[in-house]
Amino acid sequence: MAIDTTSRKAFWRGARDCGPFVLVAVPFGLLFGVIGTEAGLNIAQVMGFSIVVIAGAAQLTALQLLLDQAPTIIVLLSAIAVNLRMAMYSAALASHLGAAPLWKRALVAYMNMDQTYAVSVVEFEAKPELTLTERLGYFFGTCLPIVPTWYAATLAGALLGQSVPGDWGIEFVVPIAFLSLVAPALRTLAHIAALVTSVVLAIVFVGLPYNLGLMPAGIGAMIVGAEVERRMGQP
């Protein structure tokens, strides 16, 4: 009973901490719904993307390549490349939630997204004393403002369809949202070094097709961050 109460508290704390990211899920979801419908997908297909794939950047990547009439294999490989970063999220979450039963880990995996991962891992590292049940409660709490909102916003966007003007740069909400996730995470010099490396390598590898530069840039920046941390003896 006591465990139940603390995990419920952790759930609502997670929901509250992830609450501001409604501001990410709503515009992303609307954006995908509107653009998908305008591109000629029907509502079932637009919703299929948001429920089955549930990854905004990859969905937008796939949509762009569908419009470009790219070969099926290129559509798939590019969108998968955008999602490869989630393997690292999976590893980070596994170090905190790995002891959970398989079906719970599968549920965590389905909702393992930029926001739920980032908010949860910050919490788990700040509070190593949390029990597994509390950590699971917290993680599922972070999903509450994101996942149902993602479905609903996609549906709203699809229904809005062509009535939204698309020529004033609304697509720039996407990078703004990603950057806003990064800014509060810049806690130490090592984090800043990783950010700078990431940007520089992204520019260096920009010529590579199909988002292939994302992986070397990300891995390079992780190595720099970890190395700066090791040399400075930071936690």
Partner 1 sequence: MIGWSAGQIWLIIIVLGLATFAIRFSFLGLIGDRKLPDWMLRHLRYTPVAILPALVTPAILWPEVTGGQISTTHLLAAAATLGIGYWRKNSAFGIAAGSATFLLLNALI
The residue written with tokens 């515009």 in the block is 27
Tokens of 40: 């000629």
Q: Which of residues 59-98 bind partner 1 (CB under 8 A)?
A: 62, 66, 69, 72, 75-76, 79-80, 82-95, 97-98
Q: CB nearer to partner 1: give 11 or 117.
A: 117
Q: Which of residues 186-225 bind partner 1 (CB under 8 A)?
A: 186, 190-191, 194-195, 197-199, 201-203, 206, 213-214, 217-223, 225
Please say which residue, 2 or 206, places its beta carbon nearer to partner 1: 206
Among 165, 175, 209, 233, binds partner 1 (CB under 8 A): 175
- Rounded Cα distance between 213 and 209, Å, is 8
Site for partner 1 contains 181 (CB under 8 A): yes
Q: Among 155, 119, 159, which Cα is nearest to 139's?
A: 119
Nearer to partner 1, 1 or 120 (CB): 120
Whole-number Å distance between alpha carbons of 53 and 80: 10
Minimal distance in Å, beta carbon 60 to partner 1?
Answer: 10
Q: How far is the CB of 95 from partner 1 (least distance, A)?
A: 5
Within 112-141, the residues that bind partner 1 by CB under 8 A are 112, 114, 117-118, 125
Question: Scanning residues 17 to 46, which ones bind partner 1 (CB under 8 A)?
Answer: 20-21, 23-24, 39-41, 45
- Applying CB under 8 A, among 1, 5, 172, 231 the residue interacting with partner 1 is 172
- Minimum CB separation of residue 4 from partner 1 in Å reads 22
Angle, CA of 95, 96 and 102, to the nearest 5° = 85
> Would you say 1 or 18 has its CB closer to partner 1?
18
In the list 25, 34, 35, 57, the residue contacting partner 1 (rule: CB under 8 A) is 57
Residues 6 or more apart whose Cβ sits within 8 Å of residue 20 = none
Size of the site for partner 1 (CB under 8 A): 94
Q: Between 10 and 35, whose beta carbon lies closer to partner 1?
A: 35
| Per-residue 3-state assignment (H helix, E strand, C coil) for 51-96 | HHHCCHHHHHHHHHHHHCCCCHHHHHHHHHHHHCHHHHHHHHHHHH
